Amino acid sequence: METKIDIHLIIKVIKTTSIETLFYFYRIIVFILKLITKKPPPLAMVHFLS
C-alpha cells in the first residue's frame, strides 16, 4: 500500500511540474544511481524522459 501511495504522489507531482524541473530531478536521480550501482541508467528511462 505504501509503495502504491508513493507512486501516485510521484505521478501527481510529475503531472504538475515543468519539464525543466523534471529534467533537473532526473539528473540528480541518475547521478545517485551511478554512485550506487556504478552503472548507466536503463535506456528505457533515458528514452522516456529525454
- The predicted-structure confidence for 14-36, as pLDDT tens digits, reads as follows 777 677 787 888 888 888 888 88
The set of long-range contacts for 40-49, using a CB threshold of 8 Å and a minimum separation of 24, is 49/22, 49/23
Is residue 25 situated within a structural domain? yes
What is the SS3 assignment for 6-48? Answer: HHHHHHHHHHCCCHHHHHHHHHHHHHHHHHHHCCCCCHHHHHH
* Residue-averaged pLDDT of the chain: 72
Is residue 4 situated within a structural domain? no
Is residue 10 situated within a structural domain? no
Q: Which residue, chain included where needed, has cell 524522459?
A: 49
Is residue 1 situated within a structural domain? no
Judge whether residue 1 has pLDDT over 60: no
Measured in whole angstroms, the distance separating CA 21 from the mean position of its chain's CA atoms is: 11
pLDDT band at 48 (very low <50, low <70, confident <90, very high): low
Whole domain around residue 33: which residue ranges? 18-50
Taking residues 4-20, report their average pLDDT. 75
Residue 6 has what pLDDT? 80
Is residue 42 situated within a structural domain? yes
User: How many domains is the chain partitioned into structurally?
Assistant: 1
